[in-house]
């Protein structure tokens, strides 16, 4: 595959002014290209995909975008340190909050739907498999983009024959760290700190970014199974089963605990007497509904009408019988008098 310099010479018929682009320019080019590709795929999905498949494809595209973009974050850490990495991740998370409005970019999001009984098990498993494959596709995309050799960091990463695990602690501790981070993520994103949505997003993203940066040297602090596998699966230092336990099982257990913790917080923060009031209101509504049915055109009304009709017919018959008996008595007395 040709690098960017060869493409430049074919397009402009002259040698490019520099061998490598500036690292910032190269990273911006990578981020921009990835965002544009994902945006185009979303529009194509909405325009051409069958409606039943759009939800699955949307999750695939969003997961692909987050996994592909994460490969470039190492360049920010290498060049600008922890502060530069913090600013880059915070900016990306704010962009994701505006973009991923109708899709799950993290397998944990689909697991959360299942734990909240908003999605079936079969649908959840299908999406998880699709998102894992999306992470693999992101890895292949990154390798092809890096082969264009826009800056030195890309060529160095591409020439590495062996990757090394991000896990620098024991498997059990890594499991607890990834699970605890996921639980924190689920709880934070389920509550509002301030009534303004924009400011709440800023606070949530800043806290989660700080969580990522603080645990990066321990496990990589992914709490994103597909992203962890796209960057770290099969790397030296951890077996495949250890990777699954730390980066897949850990976040799913943390998600489950986060959902349960949210329900406990919701029950604990309910206003006293609100449940009783709701029950009283519900009972009153049931009474009103039953009275409406009794006064409406239901089976109760028809039975009442039939009863009233039969009662009226009986009264008429009695009146007719009484009038007939009176007439007979009068005719009998008239004959006697004659």
Give 285-307 pLDDT, tens digit per residue.
Answer: 555 555 444 444 343 344 434 44
- Lowest-confidence range among 35-49, 149-163, 253-267? 149-163
Count CB neighbours of 222 within 10 A. Answer: 27
Q: CA 227, CA 245: separation in Å to the nearest integer?
A: 15
Give yes or no for residue 313 having a pLDDT over 80. Answer: no
If one compares 265 and 180, the residue with the highest pLDDT of the two is: 180
Q: State residue 258's pLDDT score.
A: 95
Using DSSP's 3-state secondary structure scheme, residue 94 falls into: helix
If one compares 162 and 65, the residue with the highest pLDDT of the two is: 65
* For the chain, percent of residues with pLDDT exceeding 90: 56
Helix (H) or strand (E) holding 307: helix 299-337
Phi, psi (5° rounding) for residue 194? -135, 155
Count CB neighbours of 18 within 10 A. Answer: 10
- Confidence label for 15 from pLDDT (cuts 50, 70 and 90): confident
Q: State residue 307's pLDDT score.
A: 47
Which stretch, 2-11, 14-23, 231-240, has highest mean pLDDT?
Answer: 231-240
- Confidence label for 204 from pLDDT (cuts 50, 70 and 90): very high
Q: Domains (ranges, CATH) in the chain?
A: 4-268 (1.20.1080.10)
Q: CA 71, CA 135: separation in Å to the nearest integer?
A: 11
Q: State residue 233's pLDDT score.
A: 93
User: Quick one: average pLDDT of 110-126?
Assistant: 95
Give yes or no for residue 150 having a pLDDT over 50. Answer: yes
């Amino acid at each position: 595959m040709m690098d960017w310099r060869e493409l430049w010479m074919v397009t402009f018929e002259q040698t490019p002014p520099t061998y490598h682009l500036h690292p910032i320019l190269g990273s911006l080019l990578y981020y921009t290209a990835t965002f544009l590709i994902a945006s185009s795929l979303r529009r194509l999905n909405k325009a051409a995909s069958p409606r039943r498949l759009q939800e699955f494809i949307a999750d695939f595209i969003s997961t692909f975008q987050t996994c592909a973009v994460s490969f470039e974050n190492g360049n920010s850490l290498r060049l600008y340190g922890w502060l530069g990495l913090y600013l880059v991740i915070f900016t990306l998370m704010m962009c994701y909050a505006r973009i991923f409005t109708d899709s799950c970019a993290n397998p944990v999001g689909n697991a959360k739907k299942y734990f909240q009984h908003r999605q079936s098990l079969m649908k959840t498993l299908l999406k998880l498999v699709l998102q894992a494959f999306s992470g693999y596709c992101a890895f292949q995309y990154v390798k092809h983009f890096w082969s264009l050799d826009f800056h030195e960091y890309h060529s160095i990463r591409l020439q590495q024959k062996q990757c090394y695990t991000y896990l620098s602690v024991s498997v059990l501790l890594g499991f607890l760290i990834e699970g605890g981070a996921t639980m924190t993520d689920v709880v934070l994103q389920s509550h509002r700190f301030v009534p303004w949505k924009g400011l709440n997003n800023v606070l949530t993203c800043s806290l989660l970014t700080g969580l990522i940066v603080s645990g990066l040297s321990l496990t990589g602090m992914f709490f994103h199974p597909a992203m962890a596998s796209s960057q770290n699966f099969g790397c030296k230092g951890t077996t495949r089963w250890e990777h699954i336990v730390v980066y897949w099982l850990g976040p799913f257990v943390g998600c489950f605990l986060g959902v349960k913790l949210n329900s406990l917080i919701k029950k604990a923060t309910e206003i006293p007497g609100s449940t009783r009031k709701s029950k009283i209101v519900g009972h009153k509504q049931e009474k009103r509904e039953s009275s409406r049915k009794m006064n409406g055109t239901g089976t109760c009304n028809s039975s009442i009408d039939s009863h009233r009709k039969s009662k009226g017919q009986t009264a008429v018959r009695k009146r007719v019988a009484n009038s007939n008996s009176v007439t007979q008595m009068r005719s009998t007395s008239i004959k006697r008098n004659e």
